Structure 1
Amino acid sequence: MCIVFIYNGVNDVESEYSLILISNRDEHFNRPAQCMSPWIDDCTVYGGKDLEPGCEGGTWLAVAPIRKKLGLLLNLPGVKKENAKSRGRIVSDYVRSEMGMTDYVECIHDYSMQCNEFVFLSVEIGNLTPKIKTYSNATDEVNQWTDTYLGFSNSLPNRPLKKVEAGKKYLKDICSRLNKTKDKSQLIDELIYLLKNNERHLPDNQLESRQPNLYKELSSIFVHIPKGKYGTRAHTIMLLSKSGHIDLIEISMRSPIDDENPYWERSEFQIDLL
């Protein structure tokens, strides 16, 4: 399970931010991964990398400021396909390409249909107004989103989980109060607090039907399942000011992960869009 929330502030005249994106990565603690950093094979891309054998160096989230785009992947629980292709490759190939999201999805259509089900989120920041789009191979549909507050998790975009709806409300409260760059430190602190929120949002019939054995544990924004050695192991925050400055932050558990006493390390990158 993973989750992402977005504030699209371009039409908010009071705000000095055009985009705020925050995300949790939920994964097995023993799955090897590289923390967010510029990629060795393309230093213009910032992101983590999945080091699990067979995953082809894919990623769950990456940002390419020089190409003015972000890609993020959310898995959909369901039937596993035999010899399924790597979903993480979809994000890594996208952020290194020059294509917009719609053209890219058309290009990888055959490949995506060989993957287990997913939701692919793209944010294009090349214009004054960010273009926020999703694609799912479960429905084979591309949708563009213009709402000020958005949230997506491990369900179809138009069928949000209860915790997604709750997180959007939390985000609205934060961004309506802390929308000036002079308040950035407090803004980041409150966004982290949101991402660490372990309140359960039940009942959620959709989550219960899809995850009958773990729906309670998965109903919170921050997930922790000790018996499965699984849970939220990375937080990502991206702030894009209307002046074109990006603050990119990842807070992740240092490997090897001791889930009883994890050590969280923080990486920060300052980028100006050209």
Structure 2
Amino acid sequence: MAPWSEDNSVYGGRDLQPGCKTGTWLAISTKYKKIGVLLNLPGVKKENAISRGSIVADYVTNDLNLLDYVECIKEDANKYNDFVFVSVELGSSSAEVKTYSNANDEIIHWTNTYLGFGNSLPDKPLNKVQNGEKLLRDTCKKFNKIDNKFELLNELVKLLKNEQRYLPDPQLENRQPNIYKELSSIFVKIPVIKYGTRAHTIILVTKSGHVDLIEISMKSPIDVENTQWERNEFHFNI
């Protein structure tokens, strides 16, 4: 995560895959007061698919709300591999959360206080997402004062590093019969195939518009047997 050189009102990571360096999976715009997150849906890979990383990047660098933005990308929606896009539009004292998936061409406006999304359709969450949502609720209820920010951050990091396996999960088992157990935890760690969670990002936004952006990521080059972590923080107002 870092301010983008071409638009320093945007903080986000970069897709390091060749040909995708302008894309991202998560970004926040201080100018347009919105957050975009991209989650891939495992499934059949489409031939000559367009990179999904441009979806978040384009969303946070223009002033369109999600409904209008989806109309702009619908023409090419079937050219992307399946995804769930999560938008958070920050108001003066609240946030509007919506999701859009090209897998079913559905937009959902979410009004629950606590929400969790993962690599499945939003209305068919994996078990670890449902349990993560409960952990989030319990954590936020316990540390719900501005003076508890340090404790809140520590507990959120623990949540993101949770290696408990939430089984059974028929959806996950049907999708990945060989590694569904390893994928059933919030923090995924499969050293034998060098696959797993490599970064955690927390964005805290107060009602007054102050933002704490914290990213904890594996140091490169990554050593799966002796993982080293580094922490970056940014603090700003929107």
Show CA shifts across 1:68-112 (max 9, x none). Answer: 000000000000000000011100111011111110111011222
Cα distance in 2, alignment partners of residues 60 and 147 from structure 1: 23
Say whether 1:120 aligns with 2:72: no
Partner of 2:156: 191
Shift of 1:172: 1.1
Q: TM-score, normalised to structure 1's length? A: 0.85
Deviations along 1:1-55, whole A, 9 cap, x unmatched?
Answer: xxxxxxxxxxxxxxxxxxxxxxxxxxxxxxxxxxx00011111100100111022
Q: 1:270 corresponds to which residue? A: 235
CA RMSD of aligned residues (A): 0.9
The equivalent of 2:182 in structure 1 is 217
Pairwise CA distance, 1:126: 3.0
Q: What's the TM-score once normalised by structure 2's chain length?
A: 0.98
Pair 1:172-2:108 in alignment: no
Match of 1:131 in 2: 96
Take 1:58 and 1:251, find their aligned partners in 2: how far apart are those partners? 20
1:154 counterpart = 2:102: no
Say which SS state the counterpart of residue 67 (structure 1) adopts: coil
Structure number having the greater strand percentage: 1
User: What are structure 1's unaligned runs of at least 5 residues?
Assistant: 1-35
Partner of 1:18: none
CA positional deviation for 1:153: 0.3
Amino acid of the residue matched to residue 74 of structure 1? L
1:244 has 2:209 as partner: yes
Percent identity among equivalent residues?
A: 62
State the 1:56 CA deviation.
4.4
CA contact (8 A) 1:125 1:131 kept: yes
Contact 1:245 1:271 in 2 (8 A): yes
8 Å CA contact 1:59, 1:91 repeated in 2 = yes
Amino acid at match of 1:239: L
Q: Provide structure 2 residue ranges, at least 5 long, that are not aligned to the other structure.
A: none
Give the 3-state SS of the residue equivalent to 2:140 in structure 1. Answer: helix
Conserved? CA contact 2:39–2:84, under 8 Å: yes
